[in-house]
Amino acid sequence: MSNSTSQTLRIFVDEAGSLNIKPASESASRKAIIMCAVAVPPSQEETLLSLLPRDHNGNLLKSSDKLMSERHALRFVQELLDSQSDVSLVLVDAGLDENYQVISEVTEIANRVRTESRERRIRAPNLNYELLVKDAIVGVLGPAWERAGCKVTCLDVILDSANLSMGDRKRFKQILTENSAKHGLHMEVSWCCNEDQPLLNVPDIIAGIMHRRLIHNQLEETADLLLRAWRDSRIIIQDGRTFVPLPT
């Protein structure tokens, strides 16, 4: 790998499914959390924007839209896999007693520390979000760094704005930036909505495809394409270091 130049990686992160892990006794049906991170080289952003699925009026389709058909999803995933972008997925069983115990214990520890430092307590779903975002980012860094072919010194991470309070965002941003600095990386973290940053639709669509396949048995052909890409080491499907993964 040549280190004669440096590059900034932009990583877009979004999720599908409820972040609230519940014990099996409270889960009437199978539940999943799918976190997705997509690393997009800056030179490829306009191309990727042009590939996003749209309806007949030109409006961007989200994964949950009824108009997001197998045809739309399959074409988009194939073109994404043919591009210079990299994908990391973290799949978690959100209706498993073991995972409920894990998040309960981790939240208790986090809030004990926060109480001692007189910080606001954090809710379990928000802490769960932070853990899974971190895992998804770590998962995509390796292949994206290798693909860059040069030294990566800056990371620009864009997250969906719908999850954390302003206080939790500030603290999470500090954790991410301080941890990346330990590895010689400068990280910028920001929160946006899909309307302001259309490329957030990329992880939204990929996470949604897997969620619709695993929970509703929809978009099976497209999900199978993603699973084949994982077996071929084209994308990362990370079990996660904290939770028991959702079987595929």
pLDDT at 222: 97
Q: What is the 3-state secondary structure (H, E, C) of 186-238?
A: EEEEEEECCCCCHHHHHHHHHHHHHHHHHHHCCCHHHHHHHHHHHHCCCCEEE
Helix H or strand E segment including 39: strand 32-40
Residue 37 phi, psi (nearest 5) = -120, 135
Residue 248 lies in a domain: no
Residue 78 lies in a domain: yes
Residue 243 lies in a domain: no
Residue 150 lies in a domain: yes
For the chain, the domain total comes to 1
Residue 245 lies in a domain: no
Residue 246 lies in a domain: no
- pLDDT per residue as tens digits for the range 199-225: 999 999 999 999 999 999 999 999 999
- Residue 30: band (very low, low, confident or very high) from pLDDT cuts 50, 70, 90: confident
pLDDT > 70 fraction of the chain, expressed in percent and rounded: 92
* Entry pTM: 0.91
CATH code, 167: 3.30.420.10
Residue 149 lies in a domain: yes
Domain containing 117 equals: 6-238
Contact between residue 220 and residue 75 where contact means Cβ atoms under 8 Å apart: no
Half-sphere exposure of 140 (CA within 13 A, CB side): 27
Residue 52 lies in a domain: yes
- pLDDT per residue as tens digits for the range 145-190: 888 776 778 899 999 987 788 888 998 999 999 999 988 889 999 9
- pLDDT per residue as tens digits for the range 108-137: 999 999 999 888 899 999 999 999 999 999
